[in-house]
Structure 1
Amino acid sequence: MLDLGCGTGTLLVALAGRFDRLTGVDQSPDMLRHAGAAAERAGVRVDLVRGDLRDYRGERRHSVVTCTYNTVNYMVDEGDLERAARTLRAATEDGGLAVLDAHPVWFVERGWAGQVFVEQNTEDVLEVWENPYDAATGRVDTTVTVVRRTPEGGWHRVHETHPQRGHDPAAITAALLAAGFSSVDTYAGLDREPVREDTRRVWYVAR
């Protein structure tokens, strides 16, 4: 199994034991470090590689390739979606599956764009998510500010920007088929319900 955009390795660790070999790819060294630590804590062997979804090419192909948790929404520039689809196809062995998800345009415009979300799950961590929207490009340059209490009693602030955009099912399906997959099924969730107009996250299974 290969997880493209593996982040902190949550999916890889969860699926340990179901595959002979697990590989995670992410362009962020920090994410790979967290993924390595998570795998070590779980006693799981994972190969971790730094790479970009738009041009990653590994040494082998895989029976299952995943690309989840909005990773495809980070494809914001012209041609990025098609390049990502070609990466997915190049990584998937013949007869294998590629599984991915993405927020569609209608969710970005109605439920995400221009919104501000504040989360405080503990007294020691506060998160603020701001989502300015550019209708001309369809981009949401999400800014995330995290304030965390330090062991010394002070506060540490982290500020990041995450450019993203919505991709409708027709566009993703077309890109996957053009990349060489023979079929693409879409679902509204892991229960395989059909996609509706108000679906927030669309799942794709490409063969």
Structure 2
Amino acid sequence: MEPEFDAEGLFDDDYLYFYQDLIDPRSDAEADQIWDLLGLEPGAELLDLACGHGRLANPLAALGCRVTGLDSAGTFLEHARADAAARGVEVDYRLGDMRELPWTDRFDAVINWFTAFGYFSDEGNREVLAQVHRALRPGGRFAMELNNLANLLPRYQRDVVRTRGEDMAIDEHHLDPVTLRSHVRRTLIRGSERRTVRYSVRLLTAPELRTWLAEAGFREIEILGEDGERLTTDHRRMIVTARA
């Protein structure tokens, strides 16, 4: 049974209101890192899987990639298209489910960034990897960026509060050590409006993700930290690259 995942309820204008100023300032630098990490060249066909509001897809298009962005949150795609128009770049934005990609042997590279993986059951998450492998051309590259569990566990917090003036986003976390799912109840308070959204995300160790990728058909799997060096417990983020 798939865990409940309300993409529209979680990734909407409230998300951008509370979190956009935390993630957007580093978008151009991350796009440059992806360009170098995957050895991209102008004209490369790239899929930004779970592209959100286009914070990486649009800069990568500006660098010269032919970018397709897929996301299941329509609100985010509206923002992505508006930003692409403002930048004067073209990106093919699609509303869709990453477990059901409509492409075969299409892309030179696929990226999945900022913990945009793990929202489904283990079976569903592994199907995402199989779909990515099918969508890549032979020899194409895949890159993921997500939490480094070895670094996250010692600082895992039950409650995290994000404020903006008198408005608040309150996350109540519960980690299930048997399933390694982090269950979150997010309460959003903006003015007189208050609502709650629940979700969970599967946390993965580096060896486990390596095994999943290999079983999906990937090879040349590398596990790095956010600085591009070999992963250590000091890295907060984990970057995984693989070749189809």
Q: TM-score higher than 0.5 here?
A: yes
Which of 155, 162, 165 lines up with 2:202 in the alignment?
165
- Quote the Cα distance in structure 1 between the aligned partners of 2:85 and 2:198: 29
- Aligned twin of 1:129: 171
Q: Which residue of 2 aligns with 1:101?
A: 145
Q: Is the 8 A contact 1:101 1:201 kept in 2?
A: yes
| Residues in 1 aligned to 2:64 and 2:131: alpha-carbon distance in whole angstroms | 21
Call closer, same or farther: CA 1:48–1:60 in 2, change over 3 Å.
farther
1:138 and 2:180 are equivalent in the alignment: yes
The one-letter amino acid of 1:126's match is: M
Tell me the SS of whatever aligns to 2:178: coil
Written as runs of structure 1 = structure 2, the 5 A alignment for 1:110-129 is 110-112=154-156, 114-120=157-163, 122-123=164-165, 125-129=167-171
In the TM superposition, what is the alpha-carbon distance from 1:198 to its structure 2 partner?
Answer: 4.3
1:67 positional shift: 0.4
Instruction: Give the unaligned 5+ runs of structure 1.
Output: 150-154
* Alpha-carbon distance between aligned partners in 2 of 1:48 and 1:59, rounded to the nearest angstrom: 18
AA partner of residue 183 (structure 2): D
Report how many residues are paired: 198
Residue 73 of structure 1 aligns to a residue in which SS?
Answer: coil
In terms of fraction of residues, the more helix-rich structure is: 2
2:8 maps to none
Q: Is the 8 A contact 2:144 2:241 kept in 1?
A: yes
1:37: which partner in 2? Answer: 82
Structure 1 pair 124–34 and aligned structure 2 pair: CA distance change class (3 A): farther
Mapped pair 1:206 → 2:238: no
2:124 alignment partner in structure 1: 80
Q: 1:174: which partner in 2? A: 211
* Mapped partners of 1:40, 1:161: distance in 2: 33
Q: Distance in 2 between matches of 1:118 and 1:24?
A: 30
Q: Normalising by structure 2, what TM-score?
A: 0.73
The amino acid that maps onto 1:123 is G
Shift of 1:107: 4.3
For residue 179 of structure 1, report the CA deviation from its aligned partner: 1.7
SS at match of 2:235: coil
2:61 is the alignment partner of 1:16: yes
Quote the residue 2:21 is aligned against. none
SS of the counterpart of 2:161? strand
Residue identity matched to 1:181: F
Give the aligned partner of residue 3 of structure 1.
48
Tell me, yes or no, if the aligned pair for 2:53 and 2:77 is still in contact at 8 Å: yes
The percentage of counterpart residues that share the same residue type is 26
CA contact (8 A) 1:105 1:167 kept: yes
Q: Is the contact between residue 109 and residue 141 of structure 2 (CA under 8 Å) also seen in structure 1?
A: yes
- Residue aligning to 1:152: none
How far apart are 1:116 and its partner, in Å? Answer: 0.8
**Alpha-carbon contact 2:223-2:238 (below 8 Å) kept:** yes
Alpha-carbon separation, structure 1, partners of 2:238 and 2:84: 28
Q: 2: distance between equivalents of 1:3 and 1:158?
A: 30
Q: CA deviation at 1:156?
A: 2.9
Q: CA deviation at 1:80?
A: 2.5
Query: Equivalent residue for 1:62?
Result: 107
Provide the TM-score with structure 1 as the length reference: 0.84
2: CA distance, partners of 1:111 / 1:181: 32
Per-residue deviation, residues 37-71 of structure 1 (Å, max 9, x unmatched)? 22223222211112222232326611121001101
AA of the residue aligned to 2:96: G
Distance 1:147 1:171 in 2: 37
C-alpha displacement of 1:88: 1.6
CA distance in 2, matches of 1:19, 1:181: 26
Partner residue in 1 for 2:26: none
